[in-house]
Amino acid sequence: MLVLASSSPRRKELLTTAGFSFRIHASAIPEELRFTEDPIAFATRLAREKAEAVYSELHMLDLPDDPLIVLGADTIVVSPEKEILGKPKDANDAARMLRLLSGQTHSVVTGVAVVSRDGKEIASELTYVTMSTLSEVEIDTYINTGEPMDKAGAYGIQGYASLWIPRIHGCYFNVVGLPLALVNRMLEGTEARLRKEATTISN
C-alpha cells in the first residue's frame, strides 16, 4: 500500500496521472529551516521526517502481502541570491518573492523520501527555472488571482505563471512538486526489495 505523506493537490494529481494507486495521509511536520542547512539538506530532511512520521502512525497497516510504503516530499524555491523561498506569508511577501525571481534564473529543489519496513531511501531533484521580467502590474494582477499564496516561491509553473517561464533546465514535474521519474525509480527499488524479502521468508 502506497501512502502519500502530503495533502498537496499537485502531488496528488501528478501521482494519479502517472497511474499510481495510493492513499493520502498528510503529516504535521513543521517546515522550519535549521541554521546550518543548505537547500538540499533542508528539502530532504523535511521529506524524510514527513515520511517517517506517517509510517510511524500507520505501521500497523504494514501487512506481509501488502507492505506499507510511505512517500514524503518537500519542494523549495531558491532565489538567485540563495534565499530559500517558502510559501508567502501574505500578499506583500508574495510580491517580494516574485520581484526576486523576475528576470532571473532560480533553482527548485524537491527532496523525496520513501520509507518502508525495508528502511528508507532519500534523494533530491534540482531544476533551474528562468522567469521573464515582470511588471508591477503583472505581479499585482497575479497575486489577486490567489494562485501564489499556497506555493513555494509564490508561483505555480502549471498555472497562470507558465506565461512567464520561457525555459527550464531539468525535470518539469519537479517544479510542479514531484519529480516523477525519480519517484518511480525509488518506488520500484523499494518494491523489488520487499518482494525479495517476502520470497526469502516464505522459503
Residue-wise pLDDT tens digits, 26-81: 988 888 888 889 999 999 999 999 999 999 999 998 888 889 999 999 999 999 99
CATH number of the domain bearing residue 152? 3.90.950.10
Amino acid 23 reads R
* Calpha distance 85→151 (Å, rounded): 10
| DSSP structure class, residue 200 | H
Choice among 62, 74, 93, 150 that is catalytic: 74
* Calpha distance 117→112 (Å, rounded): 17
Q: What is the residue-averaged pLDDT of the chain?
A: 94
Q: Is 74 a catalytic residue?
A: yes
Helix (H, G, I), strand (E, B) or coil at 90: coil
Work out the average pLDDT over 165-185: 97
Domain with 151, as residue range(s), is 2-202
C-alpha 83, offset from chain centre:
18
Predicted TM-score of the model (pTM): 0.92
The pLDDT value given to residue 203: 53
pLDDT band of residue 201 (cuts 50, 70, 90) is: low
| Number of domains forming the structure of the chain | 1
Cell numbers linked to 17: 496521472
